[in-house]
Amino acid sequence: MRVANINQIHFLRGGVDRYFFALSDLLTHRGHEVAPFCAAHPQNEPSDWSDYFPAAVDFNRPGPVDLARYVFNPQAAAALKRLVRNFSPDVAHLHIYYGQLTASILPVLRQAGVPIVQTLHEYKLICPTYSLFNDGQVCERCPKGGFYQATITRCNRKSLARSALSTVESYVSRWLGNIDRVDHFIAVSDFVRQKMVEYGIAPDRITTVHNFIDCGSIPTSHAPGDYVLYLGRLERIKGLDTLLEAVAPLRHVRVLLVGDGADRDRLAREIEVRELTHVEMLGYRAGPELEALISGAICTVSPSECYETFGLTLIESFARARPVITSGMGGMAEVVADGIDGLVFEPGHAESLRQAIEWMVAHREEAAEMGRAGRAKVEAQFSASVHFEKLAQVYRGVGVAL
């Protein structure tokens, strides 16, 4: 089987990209051919297929051409047409393609007769800014009232121009068939599936296939250290203000923040002003360094205040036998069992989160047992083999023989 694996970038920036690369490895190890198709970003990892990658849209200093290509990218369509002609994929597996490749690629695949499967890692089909979150709270105005709501509320960084561009892009993508031209959607959680069905996707066109982690080679014998770990984007949407409020009195607990994002400088100033000397910002980490940080934690914390689609960091913690503390927002509630492999606190409630952290720190043996339960759950429910079998069923459903 030949798979065109399509994502906007070819480097690790977040959970979507980790899945994109993991999927390529999963399929390759099972004897299938995979051709990535992404924008030619300067940070891209090397690829034998990079000659097919179209030029990336410049978001730092966008000109008129960049703005037009954000909505419809003819270069991406032409480049994909070349790849399809030379690679002849049996199926195209889409991830996040908006903004760089754009929905211009959909007619190319449809005209070539290539079945299209898309994993929904976010809510872009129903929300111009991906997250169903605006002005500090969950927002469902666009799926209920139309994409123009994003312009009215200026939900893209409070900018009228950015919000209007996101609105136009969403309408153009819908016109180009970002729902109708996709043969089958994969939701990364039942929560995502329910939201998509609620707002118009036919139930028989979307299947839940949870994310996975290949934990066979991941040891669990590492003794936990003396810190609580947050890993993810540094943005308000992730509940980091609530986290800082929760840990402010816990001077005896080290808290490490791993990641980067739009609120990095603001959070750094907040930590300095409040003299939170027990909170350390480590910046972006990946690979063995990140793995060691997870393995050395008492637990990890996911305090998100938006509808998380899944929570890949949760199973990354479980794979290393580390329990998690989570707000349980969105799909995260499907991953963590409160009191069994982690603790669930009230979203946005600093005191509830503080109590959960204090419990983990004070009950190390029970926390370790939770971590072992998490590892067992990953092996049974979120393993590579389980994921592949469910994915194979989706591929067969669109007429692809494995």
CA dist., res. 318 & res. 235, Å (int):
24
- pLDDT tens across 26-62, in order? 999 999 999 999 999 999 999 999 999 999 998 877 8
Question: C-alpha distances in angstroms, 283 versus 43, 261, 264, 280?
Answer: 17, 9, 9, 9
pLDDT at 58: 84
pLDDT at 66: 87
Q: How many folded domains does the chain comprise? A: 2
> Are 52 and 191 contained in the same domain?
yes
Query: Is 168 domain-assigned?
Result: no
> Are 68 and 208 contained in the same domain?
yes
Query: Is 392 domain-assigned?
Result: yes
- pLDDT tens across 244-289, in order? 999 999 999 999 999 999 999 999 999 999 999 999 999 999 889 9
> Are 288 and 322 contained in the same domain?
yes
Query: Is 158 domain-assigned?
Result: no
Query: Is 195 domain-assigned?
Result: yes
> Are 311 and 391 contained in the same domain?
no
Query: Is 140 domain-assigned?
Result: no
> Are 70 and 96 contained in the same domain?
yes
pLDDT at 357: 99
Residues of the chain with pLDDT under 70: none
> Are 16 and 96 contained in the same domain?
yes
Q: Residue 274 belongs to a domain with what CATH number? A: 3.40.50.2000
Residue 174 corresponds to which amino acid?
R
Domain span at residue 91 reads 2-125+178-212+383-397
> Are 197 and 233 contained in the same domain?
no
pLDDT at 14: 86
> Are 120 and 31 contained in the same domain?
yes
Quick check: pTM over 0.85?
yes
> Are 198 and 59 contained in the same domain?
yes
> Are 78 and 95 contained in the same domain?
yes
Query: Is 82 domain-assigned?
Result: yes
Query: Is 219 domain-assigned?
Result: no
pLDDT at 60: 77
> Are 57 and 192 contained in the same domain?
yes
Query: Is 90 domain-assigned?
Result: yes
Q: Tokens for 51, please give them.
A: 């000659």
> Are 183 and 239 contained in the same domain?
no
